[in-house]
Structure 1
Amino acid sequence: MPTLSRSLIPISTQAYAATTLAASFAFLTSLDAAPNITSFVDQHCAECHDADVKKGGLDLTALKWDPAKRENFDEWVKIFDRVVTGEMPPAKKPRPEATELTPFLSSIKGELHNANMARQKVTGRTLLRRLNRTEYERTVQDLLGIQTPLKDILPEDTPMHGFDTVAEGLRLSTLQIEKYLEAADTAIEAAINLQVAPAPSTKKQYFFKDDQGTRKHLDIAEGTITNKNDPKSAHKHLLKELPDAVVFFNEGYPSAKIHQFNPRFTGMYKLRLAGYVHQSMGHPVVMRVYADNYREKRLLGYFDITEQPRVVEMTVMLKEGEHLNIQPSDSGVDAKGKNVYNINVKEFTGPGLALQWLEAEGPLLESWPPPSVKKLFGDTPVNPTDPKKKTFRNNRQIGFELAPVDPKASARQLLENFAARAFRRPLEAGEADRFVKLSTDAMDAGDSFLDAMRLGFRAVLTAPQFLLFEEKPGKLDDYALASRLSYFLWSTLPDETLMKLAAEKKLSQPEVLRAQTERLLKDEKAKAFVQNFAGQWLDLRSIAATSPDKRLYPEFDELMQLGMVAETEAFFAEILKNNLSVSNFIDSKFAMLNRCMAELYEIEGVKGEEFRKVALPVGSPRGGVLTQASVLKVTANGTTTSPVMRGAWVLKRILGQPPAPPPPGVGSVEPDTRGATTIRELLALHRNVESCAGCHSKIDPPGFALESFDVIGGWRERYRSQGKGDAAPTKRPGRYPPYKLGPAVDATGELTDGSKFNGIVEFKQLLLKQETQMLRALTGKLLTYASGAGISFADRATVEDIANRTAQQGSGLRTLVHEIVASPAFQSK
């Protein structure tokens, strides 16, 4: 197999070269070669699109017919699409007869297809592309056997066609090369951990009543002046001691900690926490567990705690110097709305989190030095260092050293093995020589074997063969196919099974490929597909882009936001696992809920923090992704909703028909945050502008159907207001909403075909009539994500074929994935 160039060539340069090469196939050079096109344009288009009128900035009389050139090709594709959808000629103009329209569309379609296919034969569908940030992190972690975060070291990737797997957006720059070097150094340093072995794993129980910080707070008498210079510094108890526990409140201070438990070594720890809710008032209290280093904190987990004592368990990674910080939610306020600050804690009747004890076991180690050392150095002898000769690296004492019998021979063997795994294929003869030379030259210069090997490993992890996917135009070989399949479903490199099948040239056999696709889908690693595909298709990655106004949405918090994304991912995974019809994305009879999300949706009977499949009540407006809080939040701005934003999202994400950008100079519609004027009233004024009416007739109706949902996905019949309005009802005793209820919501609308709806339930029934279009759109999204290339004109027939075959088998999502993998587009560059 030919290798890539030894130097890193910018992707943009390669793309330009490939396009220029394709353009040399100038098989169509003038309008004279296509009389059907010429006559149609003269008769039906030139009146508005000539040099004088030039409507929309388009002069068709000056537009050459030369689709071998990319810009010209793109322009004619736009023209074809506007005509085939009936947008052009406009409705006010005479419609072309079928005898004119059919030859025009057939001629232009065939020639554009041929032009596109000619280009693909030279360059392939997919340009040379690199690993994106997520793929890089997961690949290096699997390659080295580490868990060290790496993604945030690298610059953001640029999504193209909706995904960060597409080659057009995955360019290389000087900054990226610098960051790859930094990330490689970080990863190698984490993997080569030869420090003194940590103390053996221990298991110890700690009682919150005995914690030094807690005891100090409780043992100081109420009212004691803690600062003699400040008479107002009287100590106030904000914790409550019970015979078997200490009660903590999220309105109080301090938070729950066990100061005696302070991990001295980074690693995995098994934690068990015991507690219950004191004075629950009929509602659970959420216990949030953080790892805290006094500068930042990481959420490790959250749990619903009730009056029934509960022991929760979790196995988590804790870093050296971190401690546990445990905080309750939904506590510290009584039935009258007063918090623990205002009432003596002994007389306070509101709920609080009663914590009993923490049991910590760890660090949990398989062996020492860790397995990552063996991943890099194989069977190279590892010996304890002389304890009398203390050496340090990065402020950590070294306890082991590598002792190869023949350092240079070992360097060659280790680097060849590592490069083959990293490059995801066997090496060619001599391909590893330059990496070996880096290490052996360093040894000759006096570097230790270990430092010299760091140079070699670093060079491999920054080599083009590692960073870029090696694919040649035409059908992929088995190794390239193994990588494409693995990165599609796992976002990481192929495992041993895939590599073995590739070596035997069996992977490309249809029955073998199907079996391996099924195996990958059943593996835990397939969570990456759910997160990375659904996260971009449905725009879940933008969940934190806005912060709901606390005065309008006081119930929104960190855990609700986490639950929003978790719900949608669980929903996607359920459809994938059970091969349910993709129509469930439009409407479903079930939802994936935990207590938090069920309360937001006002669905009763769901308890606990775990997500599970829940049958929806008859007549529920929920079901499908459109009514999930994650989608409703990312299509709102945190204060108000916009039918335009939500309608455009439905057209683009669900139907694959993104609206055209607004004409130049047309302002946006600014919602009235006071709640005095509804967005529908403002849009009615906007649509009076002639240039806006056409697009808004398509965009607004889906958005109007979703107006019954607020910015966090809750159901509403009236808008929330910070101005005039009626008092909002109290959902929990003592929790008085700071907002008012304003004008009523109007969720009616009319589609361009005249179909009318009243609310989301009726709208979803109309949307289900477009299931075929939805399946076609989802097919295009999946093929784009999987292959690293957008859907070109020539790919349209492929997408149609895949969608049709999937529909014939019941339109299942798992079936669609299999059909994508089986397609020539997936199996070719």
Structure 2
Amino acid sequence: MLAQPTLLTALLLLPAAAIAATSEESYKKEILPLLENYCFSCHGEGTAKGKFSMDEYKDLSAHLGDRKHWLPVWQNLRSQIMPPSDKDQLTPAEKRKVQSWIEKEVFQLDPENPDPGRVTIRRLNRTEYQNAVYDLLGVEYDTKDVFPPDDTGYGFDNIGDVLSISPLLMEKYITAADEVVALALPEGAAAQVPRIDIEGKAFTVPFDTKTTGRWLPFAKKQEVKVEQEIPYDGEYQIKVEYAIKGATEATVHEADLVVKAGGAKVGEVSLGWDQRRVIDLTGNAPLKKGKQTFEISLAPGRQPAGGEEELFLTIHRVIVQGPLGGDKREYAKGYRMIFVDGPAPEKEADRDRYARKIMRSFVSRAFRKPLDDSTIDRLVDIVKEVDRQPGKEFEDGIKQAIATCLASPRFLFRVEIQPEPNNPAKIVPLDEYSIAARLSFFLWGSVPDDELLSLAFNNKLRANLHAQIDRMLLDPRSERLTHNFIGQWLQARDVESVPVSAKDILGLGSNREAARAFDVRLRSDMRTETEMLFDFILRKDRPAEELISARYSFLNERLAGFYGIKGVEGEDFQPVDLTEHPERGGLLTQGSVLMVTSNPTRTSPVKRGLFVLDNILGTPAPPAPPDVPPLEDATTGGNKNPTMREMMEIHRKNPDCRGCHQRMDPIGLALENFNALGQFRLTEHGTKIDGAGQLLTGEKFSNVAELKDVLATKRREDFYRCLSEKLFTYATGRGVEYYDATTIDQLVERLEKNNGKLRELIYGIVESAPFQKRRGDD
């Protein structure tokens, strides 16, 4: 029996002239009357507000096929931005009719067979590279010190179209491959002395849980300690990894650091301003078997000069390695991950088989696909050639072969094979290995594990997607999804580096006072708060709109105190009920969002309004016209200290600015109760702050709490759509196009049916045609 033709197939079978005639007839009979009634007063009959006319064309057929023209019509109608709230509105049925007509006649979408689009072959970004070498080899390789920052597209740094590679970057990858292998398999890795890592936060002051090795002021004399079980008597090497924090500009502030282990001095050094991300102090000490005390003490030295900021010491970790005599040995972590059966056997034939087993196991994960025999043969030949060289061993050959793999395009690039790559009409399902790779890079930002590859090998991954997603979200590696997605969608990772002048914002007399009031640890705390809210809602299957409306948050004592919330104690983050603080709760009132949407010395209603339009409602405003005067140029007669609302009202008098500011300003001004550091305030220059406003779609609110309620209820569908588009972009590595409308609508419908659960959105994206299929390039 022949399959029933789809709508798109049926249209393709019709003559072009017949299609055009059908489209023109439906336009004239059903759509044009609605446009004349609701749109032409502003965008037709000689009027072109926003330089957009809907009835100026020479050829009706060409006009109806102009997707660039109809796309903003469709978008603005869908988000209820047009017609404006003070104009006559289409009925729900009329709105659906116009939207459906555009999707069917102009976009020519087939809901039964969505266009999956195409993704440009792309290299791993530096975060994915770092995660991959850690998961494959157990190596902590800091790519930020090695590779340049990745370009971004559509707000994310994993977009195929921008992840190009230059000859210079390729040279860096070749060098990095050797460095990674040397870290994974150092000289003597098969018989390395035992190693113990002690985290900096483990060092504490007895009976003082607030003071740890993670934050020690230069200005205060103190000592932090930790007890650690030592397995053997002997001489040990002690390596302290630390950094200097605090002042952003050079200062004369100094302190003396002394490190002891088991009562013996390991080393001492004078500390000063130093911008290196990791510094180390290394020395030896004799230790006895059993519990031994490790001590880090800091004594004040030269104080900062007038106006200079203070410095702080933060201990990353202390590495204890020994005994150094050589009688106690253990396999290094990288060695255990690679040489799964231990050292190489003696017989040459057995060594060849072992090399083949190692290469097949390692490279199938590194390349995300099983290797063909010819590739395995070439890698084994590398192992054998190196092994035969004077002074070299089997392990050296394996190191060379692995380094070769890490510099290979098959590791550095995410490639998806298809039969007709240059035929845009050819749509094919991805093979299950490609699905495994897409899934692992989506949820883990790294290569697939053995379970995913095993399911792909047996063609059972598609049948077990839900179970695998659940398993992967339980894995600690899924924290990377929160860290990377939230860090870019909400710009949370920028909060630790965005320039702000706490001195000007808080009205303090010196940078030193400002640094004490706005402790630099607060930046990291703010990012943690935002990530923990998203992570909680994802893992507890809470409604996604709680990202906006939650009456709770996750705070520690330091951040709660900065916000003015009492009753929170300790360094650890904990859930906090914000029922008595209706101004707080949700992403929009968190310090991370409020800081990255401010200027260095003041708030910015424009940036905050744009942020909500772009990242919450999915209706970004167009770019500002050139030569827009700075807001500070706005004058209010004799008022030397105008409020932000007064300056914005003057700024909006410019006709070129008014249209966009009507969309942005009400949202941004509703957040004006929060200063540029995220602290709540009631007045500005002695005048009570007015947070009332009205969205362009007509909803009114009197303060930020009511704005959040509007966004989470009446505009919930817009938020669902925006969230779906953002996570879809992150998951697929490409931007959302007009032909993705069907997929996005399905994701929004899925959220509506499942109480907004974020996990359902992840299920929906992974099951969607764009994630499961691809077509050839145009």
CA contact under 8 A between 1:570 and 1:592: conserved in structure 2? yes
Secondary structure of 2:589's match? coil
Between Structure 1 and Structure 2, how many residues are aligned? 659
Give secondary structure in 2 for the equivalent of 1:474.
Answer: strand
Task: Give the distance between the partners of 1:421 and 1:825, measured in 2 at CA.
Answer: 24
Give, in angstroms, the shift of residue 82 of structure 1. 4.5
Which deviates more, 132-141 or 60-69? 60-69
Find 2:405's aligned residue among 460, 465, 483. Answer: 460
Q: What does 1:753-764 correspond to in 2, within 5 Å?
A: 753-764=697-708
Contact 1:291–1:298 (CA under 8 A) maintained in structure 2: no
Inter-partner Cα distance in structure 2 for 1:291 and 1:480: 52
Structure 1 residues 256, 100: closer, same or farther in 2, change over 3 A? closer
Query: What is the CA-CA distance between 1:712 and the residue it aligns to?
Result: 1.1
Mark the CA change 1:372 to 1:116 in structure 2 (over 3 Å): closer, same or farther: farther
Structure 2 residues not aligned, in runs of 5+:
1-11, 199-214, 229-234, 243-267, 285-293, 307-311, 419-426, 507-513
Task: Tell me how far apart the structure 1 counterparts of residues 60 and 174 of structure 2 sit (CA, whole Å).
Answer: 47
Answer yes or no: is 1:662 the counterpart of 2:624. yes
Equivalent position SS for 1:114 = coil
- Rate the CA distance shift 1:194–1:112 in 2: closer, same or farther, 3 A: farther
**Aligned equivalent of 2:320, options 352, 362, 377:** 362
Aligned residue among 439, 453, 459 for 1:499 = 453
Distance 2:645 2:181 in 1: 57
Change beyond 3 A, Cα 1:431–1:202: closer
2:661 is matched with 696
Change over 3 Å in CA distance of 1:750–1:178 after alignment to 2: same
User: Corresponding residue for 2:511?
Assistant: none
Deviation at 1:603, TM superposition (A): 1.4
Look up the match of 1:426. 370
Structure 1 residues 292 and 412: CA distance shift in structure 2, 3 A: farther
Asked if 1:149 is matched to 2:107, the reply is: no
User: Is contact 1:640–1:671 with CA below 8 Å preserved after alignment?
Assistant: no
Bigger Cα displacement from structure 2, 495-504 vs 137-146:
495-504
Match 1:748 to one of 676, 688, 692: 692
Q: Does 1:135 align with 2:135?
A: no
Distance 1:576 1:292 in 2: 46
1:26/1:611 Cα in 2 relative to 1: closer, same or farther (>3 Å)?
farther
Distance 1:640 1:137, change over 3 A: same
CA contact (8 A) 1:621 1:761 kept: yes
Instruction: Give 1:599 shift.
Output: 0.8
Work out the CA distance in 1 between the residues paired with 2:642 and 2:407. 57
- CA distance, structure 2, for counterparts of residue 61 and residue 793 of structure 1: 22
3-state SS of paired residue (2:765): helix
Equivalent residue number for residue 245 of structure 1: none
| 1:239-318 mapped onto 2 (5 Å cutoff) | 250=217, 252=219, 264=237, 296=274
2:767 aligns with 822
Residue equivalent to 2:206: none
1:207-237 Cα shifts (integer Å, max 9, x gaps) = xxxxxxxxxxxxxxxxxxxxxxxxxxxxxxx
Partner Cα separation in structure 2 for residue 500 and residue 662 of structure 1? 52
Whole-angstrom CA distance in 2 between matches of 1:613 and 1:804: 31
Shift of 1:254: 6.8
Judge conservation of contact 1:50–1:61 (CA < 8 Å) in 2: no
Give matches, 1:537-686, under 5 Å: 537-543=489-495, 544-553=497-506, 554=514, 555-670=517-632, 676-686=641-651
CA RMSD of aligned residues (A): 4.8
Cross-structure match for 1:783: 728
Q: Could you tell me how far apart the structure 1 residues matched to 2:165 and 2:220 are?
A: 49
CA pair 171-321 structure 1, distance change in 2 beyond 3 A? farther
1:61 is aligned to: 57
Q: Give, in angstroms, the shift of residue 80 of structure 1.
A: 3.8
**Aligned-pair CA distance for 1:58:** 7.8
Structure 1 SS opposite 2:139: coil
2:681 paired residue number: 716
- Tell me the CA shift for residue 823 of structure 1: 3.0
Q: How does 1:10-159 map to 2 (within 5 A)?
A: 34-35=23-24, 56=51, 61=57, 73-82=67-76, 105-114=99-108, 124-159=117-152
User: Equivalent residue for 1:476?
Assistant: 430
Deviating more after overlay: 29-38 vs 137-146:
29-38
Mark the CA change 1:175 to 1:61 in structure 2 (over 3 Å): closer, same or farther: farther
Q: 1:533 matched to which residue of 2?
A: 485
Give the Å deviation of 1:703: 0.7
- C-alpha distance 68-515 of structure 1, shift in aligned 2 (>3 A): farther
Specify which structure has the higher proportion of helix: 2
Query: How far does residue 149 in structure 1 lie from its aligned partner after superposition?
Result: 1.7
Which amino acid in 2 is paired with 1:502? Answer: A
The aligned residue for residue 215 of structure 1 is none
1:362 alignment partner, SS class: strand
TM-score (norm: length of structure 1): 0.68
How far 1:828 sits from its partner (Å)? 2.7
Q: Provide the C-alpha distance between the structure 2 equivalents of 1:25 and 1:132, rounded to a whole number of angstroms.
A: 44
Change (3 A) 1:120 1:575: closer
8 Å CA contact 1:292, 1:325 repeated in 2: no
2:467 maps to 515
Give the one of 137, 151, 156 matched to 1:163: 156
Residues 825 and 266 of structure 1: is their aligned pair in 2 closer, same or farther, counting only changes over 3 Å? farther
One-letter amino acid of the structure 1 residue matched with residue 51 of structure 2: G
CA distance in 1, matches of 2:694, 2:628: 24
1:594 to partner: Cα distance: 0.7
Contact 1:594 1:610 in 2 (8 A): yes
Report the residue type matching 2:440 in the other structure: S
Structure 1, gaps ≥5 residues long: 1-23, 205-247, 270-289, 301-316, 333-338, 343-352, 354-358, 384-401, 720-740
Task: Give the whole-Å Cα distance in 2 for the aligned partners of 1:201 and 1:436.
Answer: 31
Query: Which residue does 1:17 correspond to in 2?
Result: none
Q: TM-score by structure 2 length?
A: 0.72
Preserved CA contact (<8 Å) 2:103 2:109: no
Letter in 1 for 2:659: G
- Displacement after TM superposition at 1:455 (Å): 3.8
Q: 1:507 to 1:367 in 2, by over 3 A?
A: farther
Supply the AA of the counterpart residue of 1:482.
Answer: A
Question: Hey, what's the Cα distance between the residues in 1 that align with 2:733 and 2:124?
Answer: 10
Counterpart residue identity of residue 434, structure 2: A
Give the SS at the match of 2:719: helix
Residue 103 of structure 2 aligns to a residue whose secondary structure is: helix
**1:33-72 per-position Cα deviation (integer Å, ceiling 9, x unaligned):** 8425986789777997899989738895368967999xx6
Corresponding letter in the other structure for 2:57: T
Kept after mapping to 1: 8 A contact 2:603/2:675: yes
Tell me which amino acid in the other structure corresponds to 1:56.
K
Map of 1:774 onto structure 2: 719
Q: Residue type matched to 1:546 in 2?
A: P
Larger displacement relative to structure 2 (452-461 or 52-61):
52-61
CA distance in 2, matches of 1:689, 1:792: 33
Pick closer, same or farther for the CA change 1:713–1:142 going to 2, 3 Å.
same
Deviation at 1:295, TM superposition (A): 7.5
Aligned-residue identity in percent? 31
Distance change >3 Å, CA 806–CA 103, structure 1 → 2: closer
Q: Distance in 2 between matches of 1:566 and 1:100?
A: 45
In structure 2, the CA distance between the partners of 1:67 and 1:752, relative to structure 1 (3 Å rule), is: closer
1:676/1:743 contact within 8 Å kept: no
Letter aligned with residue 751 of structure 2: T
Matching residue of 1:184: 177
1:199 and 1:380 mapped to 2: Cα distance?
Answer: 16
Q: Cα deviation per residue 1:683-733 (whole Å; 9 max; x = unaligned)? A: 1112112232222111111111100001111111223xxxxxxxxxxxxxx
What amino acid does structure 1 have at the position aligned with 2:731?
A
Report the Cα offset of residue 469 of structure 1: 2.2
CA distance in 2: counterparts of 1:591 and 1:636, whole angstroms: 22
Cα distance in structure 1, aligned partners of 2:362 and 2:49: 60
- 2-side partners of 1:439 and 1:50: how far apart? 77
